[in-house]
Copies of this chain bind each other. A is one copy, B any other.
Amino acid sequence: MIKAAVIGSTGYAGQEIVKLLLRHPGAELIWYGSKSYKGEKYSEIYANMNGLTDAYCSGDQLAEVADQADVIFTATPQGYCASLMNEDILTKTRIIDLSADFRIKDVAVYEKWYGIEHKSPQFIPEAVYGLCELARDNIKKARLVANPGCYTTCSILTLYPLAAEGLIDTGSIIIDAKSGTSGAGRSAKTANLFCEVNENIKAYGVGTHRHTPEIEEQLGYACGHDVTLTFTPHLVPMNRGILATTYSQLVPGVTGAEVRAAYDKYYGEEYFIRLLPDGTFPETRWVEGSNFTDIGFRVDERTGLIVAIGAIDNLVKGAAGQAVQNMNIMFGLPETEGIDQVPMFP
């Protein structure tokens, strides 16, 4: 039985990890870490957990947890994980970090987009970017996994085969992404009040969103050269879900069949990625509450573009579900264990 800890267990992503681990047959949750709610009963913070756990929140002392846990999920603000990371911790336990601290290989890029100094850049090289379907082998042996962001998981999975197989002009990529509001977290901000979000749609972080370099870096690996792209996130009045509508110039002559073959090559065997038939496109409701990524596309012969669309649940495949998937891979468990929920509709 894997002993698992969650630091940052009282945020939405942290709570989702708790939810998954409570039903995971191979793991036991031994630490409900929380800076804000230390000492409080977990099921009073999240009353859905009533009767399911009697745990009280512990603090966020990473080093102390490292002595007890086989794996630690850090669902913490940017900079936290990097500020505490050291060799001792990584010797004792394995880390799955849901923050951005170890996602970006170029520390200068990280520091520029996040506006903070990286306190432990020496661990960046060994950190594995935990997009499970694309980095499974490296994840198996990793001590430190950088769990991908929600927008990035959806965007990269949607575009990776196109970039890797050279089917698109990677200089032309535009990602217009839409997210449910749980992606904004549980902290009390006026902008996230019900009446501010409900009956509204808006773009935000136009040209400046921090997930941009993460997507660029991974797609750069796919195609073998630097990628600069346009990424615009939008806030949608719903709890969960990300839809990434992507636009790329198709290399002249590439057919829809070739595009499908590329997707099949990368994802044909992947349980958690569902390629939709022609003429069908992802909707967030069909993946809600699950670890699935749905992908559909259309080659637009009028314009020469390919419109490829992906959908995930931002809290599952975009955070907690993929984190547990990473744990499963790291510990040699069946990859779907504990994260095989049927999407909940309606």
Residues of A within 8 A of B (CB): 12, 15, 19, 22-23, 46-52, 174, 176, 178, 180-182, 186-190, 192-204, 206-207, 228-230, 232, 234, 236-241, 243, 245, 247, 271, 274, 276, 280-290, 292, 294, 298, 300, 302-303, 305, 307, 309, 340-346
How many copies, total? 4
Task: Indicate if the CB atoms of B342 and A174 lie closer than 8 Å.
Answer: no
Q: How far is the CA of A50 from the CA of B294 in the complex (A)?
A: 9
Which of B199, B201, B276, B302 is the one whose CB lies under 8 Å from A178?
B201
Task: Indicate if the CB atoms of B203 and A23 lie closer than 8 Å.
Answer: no
Q: How far is the CA of A252 from the CA of B35 in the complex (A)?
A: 47
The answer to whether A307 and B188 touch (CB under 8 A), given A230-B247, A302-B228, is no
Residue of B nearest to A346 (CB): B195
Residue of B nearest to A183 (CB): B195
Q: How far is the CA of A182 from the CA of B241 in the complex (A)?
A: 20
Q: How far is the CA of A186 from the CA of B181 in the complex (A)?
A: 17
| 22 examples of A-B residue contacts, CB within 8 angstroms | A12-B346, A15-B345, A48-B342, A48-B344, A51-B271, A174-B247, A186-B195, A193-B193, A194-B196, A198-B198, A198-B238, A200-B238, A201-B238, A202-B283, A202-B284, A202-B285, A206-B309, A207-B300, A229-B303, A232-B245, A234-B243, A237-B238
Additional A-B contact list (11), CB under 8 Å, known A48-B286, A201-B243? A51-B274, A181-B195, A182-B195, A182-B346, A192-B193, A194-B194, A196-B346, A199-B239, A201-B238, A230-B305, A240-B346
